[in-house]
Amino acid sequence: MLRSPRRYRFPEFELARSILAQWDNSNGISKSQLERQTWGDGSPHSPRFDRYIRGTLGVETSRRSLQTDRITDLEKQIEALMTAATQTFRGVFAPVNSIKVFPGL
């Protein structure tokens, strides 16, 4: 799923393709090492590499963690349970919006 190279200057497109090939979906050189070689910056978690490749080629080079997906799933379950409780016990208990199960949700 590569974006059209016409949108970017040719050297940027070629550099992005080159470092993406060297990384080889985590089978080649590490992102941090490629950042050090390319930009002289090997910051943790390789944000520059990810942004550059995504912005130039439109390719995602990072995955969401399983924990992030699990938290999203649990938040949906809590919301569904609160909705079901509201419909089942309407008027019997305190209004659901006054109950603070998890602050910030």
- CB burial of residue 60 (10 Å; 0-12, 13-18, 19+): exposed
Residue 76 confidence class, pLDDT cut points 50, 70, 90? very high
User: Same domain, yes or no, for 9 and 51?
Assistant: yes
Amino acid at position 64, single letter: R
Q: Looking at the whole model, is its pTM more than 0.85?
A: no
Which pLDDT score is estimated for 101? 59
Whether the per-residue pLDDT at 102 is higher than 80: the answer is no
The range of the structural domain enclosing residue 93 comes to: 66-98
Q: What is the mean pLDDT of the chain?
A: 78
Whether the per-residue pLDDT at 47 is higher than 70: the answer is yes
Does residue 92 lie within any of the structural domains?
yes
User: Same domain, yes or no, for 9 and 52?
Assistant: yes
Does residue 105 lie within any of the structural domains?
no
